Amino acid sequence: MYRPRLLIDGDTLRLEEILQVARNEAIVQLTPESEACVRASRDLVDRVAAGDTPAYGINTGFGTLAEVRIDKKDLRELQRNLILSHAAGVGTPMPLPEARALLLLRCNVLAKGFSGIRLETLQLALDMLNRDVVPVVPERGSVGASGDLAPLAHLALVFIGEGEAFFQGQRMPARQALERAGLKPVVLEAKEGLALVNGTQAMCAVGTLLQLRAESLATIADIAGSMTLEGLLGSHKPFIPEIQEVRPHEGQKACAAHLLTLLAGSDLVETHVNCSKVQDPYSLRCMPQVHGAAREGFAFARRILEVEVNSATDNPLVFVEGNRIVSGGNFHGQPISLAMDVTAMALTQLSSISERRVEQLVNPALSNLPPFLAKNSGLNSGFMIAQVTSAALVAESRVLCHPASVDSIPSSAGREDHVSMGMTAALKGRQVADFTRTCLAIEILVASQALDFRLPVKAGRGPRAAHELVRSRVPTMEKDREIHRDIEAVCELIDSGELLRVVRAATA
């Protein structure tokens, strides 16, 4: 399979490029300028290591042991011990796409030339990425203090031939994976272990893939809402530009414009021009306001991530121009933690309003359609429990929206006395994204049944295309069947990107 080349320099990596590498769809290389920066940074570290002046992490211990001097003969062992001792992660390994993203992001930070790593060590990381050697990194164990210490230590284990890795998707001992890929482990020199474990790359890896998924789900939410609106014979008027311009939030305006694009060409809207209903329920009428607010939250999170993935998050940082190695706090994950909490809350709003639209569809007192959209209701229960499942997922999402970013458990004998819980925020955000996707799949499935009852009158181009795609995989429910299979089929249409492609093509 052909894979295009992606050049990284530590400054210009885009979120979409991270996704490309996470899917193993690109070859990653350093720019010549980055190579020069890495070499210069390493030269300074070597000079400091050869001297007698204490420098944190180079010839001292770590954390609260920073005042302990280390003999020059023990500097290699110091770096190896750091990796071994910090590899204390537990739980399920990060999925391969997230682990690839983690490896890429660490390479990108090292490429900036503020870490003091040797070029050959960084090149091993790039070779691992390009030859599909992906470290096994447990998800849990980071409090986002000196960044993601435990996850990054598990990543670094593979560099020294320890731990485990996936090679071409198969899990095995790291040394064996490296050998199969034609690679050899390295012996870490002064500061290199510290250069590999300080930083926010684990929370950013999970967060970046979550962010891109959340943005996609915002579009899916508009599609689902447009299908429900048409199925319930709702009004298009709340989405006109004049309403949005007098409350000009960018997310609201974008959502309303998208809804009008989706609904264009509707014959259904003509069937109720002179109906007696004055206003639709909020879950229909206020889609621009609610979906739009979620979009604003995602925009905030994107801005934070775009800065963070191209930031130097090591400690200490190596400044060649000033001939200084300085301790600071760029590893603290607070910006990412807050951004991921916002993303989780925004996603939950999308699922919450979606569940209310499903209730509008299945409740005959609200829809003027058969109870639970069942044919021969009573004998058949139709989509009664689909709404219950959606409600259950929304309820759990609300629990997961408790912010991790306001929490802190001091660690490292009080030296790390305020921590970000950034990885926690990213992991629970990922779970909320799963739930939101399923809630939207349920709405799309139920709305498709409502649109069946409106045939042969056609919905707008967007909901019509979505409806036709769903029906190519999931038949109309004529009598009760296992609904979970139908939900899974629509989830696959969302996850594969096929739903988005089909609807975009129909509304272009």
pLDDT digits (tens, 9 = 90+) for 139-178: 999 999 888 999 999 999 999 999 999 999 999 999 999 9
Q: What are phi and psi of 115, to 5 degrees?
A: -105, -25
The residue from 20, 37, 48, 56 that is catalytic is 56
**Tens digits of residue pLDDT in 244-303:** 999 999 999 999 999 999 999 999 998 887 776 778 999 999 999 999 999 999 999 999
Q: Which residue has the tokens 């309403």?
A: 243
Token pair in block for residue 357:
């639209």
Half-sphere CA count of 51, side-chain side, radius 13 A: 9
pLDDT score, position 270: 87
Q: What are phi and psi of 29, to 5 degrees?
A: -140, 155
What span, in angstroms and rounded, lies between the C-alpha atoms of 106 and 249?
36
109 within 8 A of 311, measured Cβ to Cβ = yes
Residue type at 24 in one-letter notation: N
What span, in angstroms and rounded, lies between the C-alpha atoms of 320 and 211?
34
Helix (H, G, I), strand (E, B) or coil at 399: helix
pLDDT score, position 2: 84
What span, in angstroms and rounded, lies between the C-alpha atoms of 151 and 97?
15
Of the candidates 180, 190, 283, 272, the residue with the CA atom closest to the CA atom of residue 459: 272
Interacting residues of 47 by C-beta distance below 8 A, sequence separation 6+:
none
User: Residues of the chain whose pLDDT is less than 70?
Assistant: 57, 61-68, 276
* Residue 56 appears among annotated catalytic residues: yes
Q: Which residue has the tokens 């770096």?
A: 79
Neighbours of 433 (CB within 10 A): 24
Q: What is the DSSP string of 258-312?
A: HHHHHHTT-SGGGGGTT-S-----HHHHTHHHHHHHHHHHHHHHHHHHHHHTTS-
pLDDT score, position 30: 97
pLDDT score, position 57: 67
Half-sphere CA count of 165, side-chain side, radius 13 A: 30
Token pair in block for residue 419:
């921590």
